[in-house]
Amino acid sequence: MVKQRIVYACTQCGASTPQWRGQCPDCGAWNSLEEVTQPTVRVRARAPTGHSVRPVAASSVDLAPDSRVETGLSELDRVLGGGLVSGAVVLVGGEPGIGKSTLLLQVLGNLAGDIVRVLYVTGEESIRQVALRARRLGVAADRVHLLAETRVESVLEVVERESPRIVVIDSIQTMFTEALQSAPGSVAQVRESAARLVRHAKDRSFSVLLVGHVTKDGAIAGPRVLEHMVDTVLYFESEADRRFRVIRAVKNRFGAANEIGLFAMTEKGLREVRNPSAIFLARGAAEVAGSVVTVVREGTRPLLVEIQALVDEASGPPRRLTVGLEQGRLNMLLAVLHRHAGVSTQGLDVYANVVGGVRITETGADLAVLAAVRSILGERPIEHGLMVFGEVGLAGEIRPVPGGEERVREAAKHGFSRALVPTANVPRRLPHGIDVTGVERVDRALDLI
């Protein structure tokens, strides 16, 4: 008989503690501990017989490049770092209804062939529902094998028998293993089920795509608890009611982190967007105050985005709200604006927004944020042909950012005629049709804008 013990697992970070507490000792979240039953596992004192434990010389390790398959969606291949690595475990997270099942069914349809066997394990929808969707999406239905199952042991039996090269688990939150008593969806179950699949995938070198639902309130075990176990973590970033979907690699053992891919949801499923800059830049013809274009670099790709700012009289403590930008960064930038450019936002609410639903994780947009705020404060529109980028430091200096030349080239490609950039980022050879000015101080830059 398997002995059981009660532990308390954090729904936020997955850490477990033997005693209940109001606050997770690991991540500090409040009221996040839930009771789980765990089997007590006896640690084996010796290695199993016939299995020697021995280190190997680094030089003797096979260093052939990972073999990859293209998924048929180049935007997804880009996020994966150049296609799906065989034997890789990829977690695909996002809110319910964002398009995870749609994306993975399309991918399986593209990859399924005479040689590549694929398996779609559904724990949420019935086989019929999945088959209907497959027909609607026009995927090669005879080649995609479906399995409605939530017991990991059964899934692994099927995998053993059929040896598919790619397995989709939709979703990991519905899976359970008999080894644990706790309910499916609990942190312990999600983690253990995933661990079993990962171990199997590595042993048999098939790829696994795990779907994980992200819930806003974090009431059930979120995919975060799995991030450290898998090779690649992709999250859908945009909201389900938008037409465009941004997928970001927040972790990738086989490619650049923060790489993003852009898709549009159509009645035929997700379609890749080949020129995202053009999408994010769709603006009206009139020049309006509080709007400016910058080039950000998420992952390895330069992307033109529009930054908007709005100020309004505060009817209480002034608020600083951001969409797509870090709020703390906005606070800091406003302090620099006051201290080093003499422009105060005291008594004003300040809003900053990245148009199009993309989230900026780097500092290259700093100068654009300040330019947009300055523009709305003075009610002075910024000319359409101008692009600005640069990191702003606490001393009011403008610092260079990686990929300066590439950013300027992206702006020139989309018809921008003037750029204001950190002096060290001014390209030695200017792309055709763009005039680039280097700036070193915030006050001077805002004057020039």
State the nearest-atom distance from the C-beta of 269 to ligand TYD, in Å. Answer: 4
Give the CA distances from residue 273 to residues 245, 278, 284, in Å, rounded to whole numbers and listed in that order: 10, 10, 21
Q: Which is nearer to ligand TYD, 240 or 335 (CB)?
A: 240
Q: Which does 269 bind (CB under 5 to 8 A by kind): ligand TYD, Mg ion, none?
A: ligand TYD
Q: Could you tell me the two tokens for 143? A: 């080649």
Verify binding: residue 345, Mg ion, rule CB under 5 A: no
Q: Could you tell me the two tokens for 62? A: 């096979």
Residue type, 360: I
Q: Which is nearer to ligand TYD, 101 or 177 (CB)?
A: 101
Q: Which residues bind ligand TYD (CB under 6 A)?
A: 94, 96-102, 133, 136-137, 265, 267-269
State the nearest-atom distance from the C-beta of 348 to ligand TYD, in Å. Answer: 39
Q: Which does 99 bind (CB under 5 to 8 A by kind): ligand TYD, Mg ion, none?
A: ligand TYD
Q: Which does 102 bind (CB under 5 to 8 A by kind): ligand TYD, Mg ion, none?
A: ligand TYD
User: What is the rounded CA–CA span in Å between residue 235 and residue 95?
Assistant: 9
State the nearest-atom distance from the C-beta of 135 to ligand TYD, in Å. Answer: 10
State the nearest-atom distance from the C-beta of 234 to ligand TYD, in Å. Answer: 12
Q: Which is nearer to ligand TYD, 133 or 339 (CB)?
A: 133
The residue of the chain with the least Cβ separation from Mg ion equals 101
Q: Which is nearer to Mg ion, 71 or 101 (CB)?
A: 101
Q: Under a CB-based contact definition with an 8 Å cutoff, are residues 166 and 116 in contact?
A: yes
Q: Which is nearer to Mg ion, 245 or 301 (CB)?
A: 245
State the nearest-atom distance from the C-beta of 150 to Mg ion, in Å. Answer: 14
Q: Under a CB-based contact definition with an 8 Å cutoff, are residues 206 and 244 in contact?
A: no
Contacts with Mg ion in 83-122 (CB under 5 A)? 101
State the nearest-atom distance from the C-beta of 72 to ligand TYD, in Å. Answer: 15
User: What is the rounded CA–CA span in Å between residue 171 and residue 184?
Assistant: 11
User: What is the rounded CA–CA span in Å between residue 363 and residue 361?
Assistant: 7
Residue 272 Ramachandran class (φ > 0 left, ψ -120 to 50 alpha, else beta): beta
Q: Under a CB-based contact definition with an 8 Å cutoff, are residues 380 and 290 in contact?
A: no
Q: Which of 202, 200, 152, 205 is nearest to 175 (CA)?
A: 152
Q: Which is nearer to ligand TYD, 172 or 372 (CB)?
A: 172
Lay out the sheet containing 16-17: strands in order across.
16-17, 4-10, 33-39
